[in-house]
Amino acid sequence: MSPDKGVHRAVRVARRAAWPLVISARIGEPAERAYFDQQVRPLLGPDDDLLADQPLAARVDLMGHAAALVNPITWPEPFGLVMAEALATATPALAFPHGAAPEIIDHGRTGYLCHGEDEMTAAIARVPQISRRHCRAAAEQRFSQARMAADYDRLYRAILERPGRTAPERTGTGAP
């Protein structure tokens, strides 16, 4: 629960689009509580749900049954795990194009990259056009353990096979 994560923006977007809203967030730090109390809570309606500090299984179930993840981040987040998690549960993601969002979301195929709240509100109407199967396939292709392990293997082999590289001495522990 941080201003940079844009929960207050997500509430405004959902409200304008007349979408039901469920917020799943960790609210542990005093600054997170203050942000929620001052900027988010006043925007919530009686039908909006806040699920704070849910266990992993509950979050995965929630995400997998959501129509979309609305993630209006405003900082250059280096990865954006929540967007990858959404795609892994076959859920489209809507985000502002900050940080890694353009690398995670294929605009028009696995979600929408939006420039501002108005554009994100309009994109909500197009969420049904996104194939959940494409979302899951993108997550498997980019973020699966097998894909990532294969990438690390290729990288390590390339490093080990560089011209001019000498093999390290063995230490007797099995590690080079």
pLDDT in the model for residue 80 = 83
Alpha-carbon 166 to chain mean position: 41
Query: Residue 173: pLDDT above 80?
Result: no
Q: What is the mean pLDDT of residues 34-45?
A: 95
pLDDT in the model for residue 151 = 87
Residue 133's H or E segment, with its range, is helix 132-143
Mean per-residue pLDDT of the chain: 91
Residue 140 in contact with residue 95, Cβ under 8 Å? no
Dihedral Cα 143, 127, 89, 15, nearest 10 deg: 110
Reported CATH class of domain 3-160:
alpha beta
Every domain of the chain and the residues it spans: 3-160
Q: What pLDDT, in 10s, does the model give residues 73-88?
A: 988 988 889 999 999 9
In sequence order, what DSSP letters do the residues of 17-30 get, joined into one string?
Answer: TT---EEEE---SH
CA distance 142 to 69: 18
Residue 11 in contact with residue 48, Cβ under 8 Å? yes
